[in-house]
Structure 1
Amino acid sequence: MSPVFQVANLRKAFGGLAVTNDVSLAMSPGDRVALIGPNGAGKTTFVNLVTGNLAADSGEVRLGGEVVTKAGAIGRVRRGLIRSFQVTRLFQDMTPAEHVGLAVLQRDGRTGRMFGNFLRMPDVMAEVDDLLAKLGLAPLMHRKVSEIAYGQQRLLEIAVALALKPKVLLLDEPAAGVAQSDTGRIEQALADLPADLAVLMIEHDMDLVFRFAKRVIVLAAGAIIFDGLPEDVTKDARVREAYLGSYANASHIA
């Protein structure tokens, strides 16, 4: 299967410090990959580079075989590369229905309709209803974001991302800040993502990583030190030293 997302020899330095050091990876449709690493490993910088929010010093990014290294963030979104953020970036005075509806209009190039009552458009509302129902947010669709729980806001971010019909979805700690009682909903949403969607998740919760990922990439000091199966990651001496610590010595991994 041809890769839908490729990064080749990506490099970025600030002054004399290389924060992304010759990073290469490829993902195919349906991949479920977790990117982990200690604080300061360069994970956020890497995501900013591949999404076009930060310019690389050298290297190449491809989406569906097309070189997008020079494309900006909006251009990459239009080509199907969508990300979520570690901290929610929702509008507190807007409703879930409005968030998802605006994403549908943006995706379809109908931004001129954003200032009308787009929630009366049957085609838009059909998608809004479907996405919010799938994520358990239908009862909250007309409430302000400020009135719904943080875990539900994280689910809404996933709904907005899916409304853009991504080919590659980058999730930056989707369960960060979510109450323990709500993490099951996040995990179920991740399990229900479209089967042909390539997903790269940055996550510190190792239990979630091992339940979600079919492949784990470990970043340390801006470089990939491991790329393989989840069951092998804790056996790697470099990973134990750089990131996992005593967790890797546990007799049972959830």
Structure 2
Amino acid sequence: MSRMLLISNSGTPFLGHCGEMIRSFLAGCERIAYVTAARLGDEDERYGRAAKALAGRGVETDHLKLDIDAVRKLDQAKAIFVGGGNTYALVSRLRQHGLLQRIAERVRNGMPYIGTSAGTNIAAPNILATNDWNVVGATEFTGMALVPWAINPHYQEADPAMAPGSETRDQRIAEYLNCNFIPVLGIEEQTAIQVEGGKATVVGQGRARMFVRGSEPQWLPAGTELSLH
């Protein structure tokens, strides 16, 4: 049965709001594989920051780079953390190296999974609700389908003070729903979805918002359970 922590994280020190959440989620698992493939830039720098932040919470890491050892490292991993960056780059690179569905299979078989931002996006059936630009020219947009909704991390409610005519996140999601039947779950900052024991729960300091074609969006405060079917 899947165990996942799908985090919306930015605007705070790295893993600042979710450090204790991660430590609790990984209780009993002292070493994890960390994936930096979403990073468009220095992956070693990103890994170093992540490793330092996680070590401060009692979690040791191995850098799972997309090289000839990637499959072996994944197969040996006790848990996996997929960090943020560009979602299109992440899904393309993982698919190219034969890791996307391999990760999904391991998660379905019980390997704990943590995703932040792009790493959260790819748990969905597709990545079309991402905020990222497709700067890598990706042509395949399916994710791991570990949850039944597309995900929009860093979700922000429209600000009434915005200039007239400004495009809002809600409008972009409405455009998505005009072309897709898969619902969208917007996740505010400092918020996560924890999947465990066959159920998904909103956790953290913010809220989530569910968008379903033909229905009004629904706010989901912390503690709300979501259907995985």
Q: TM-score range by the shorter chain?
A: 0.3 to 0.5
- Structure possessing the higher relative contact order (Cα contacts under 8 Å, 6 or more residues apart): 1
TM-score, normalisation: structure 2: 0.36
Greater fraction helix: 1
Larger Rg: 1
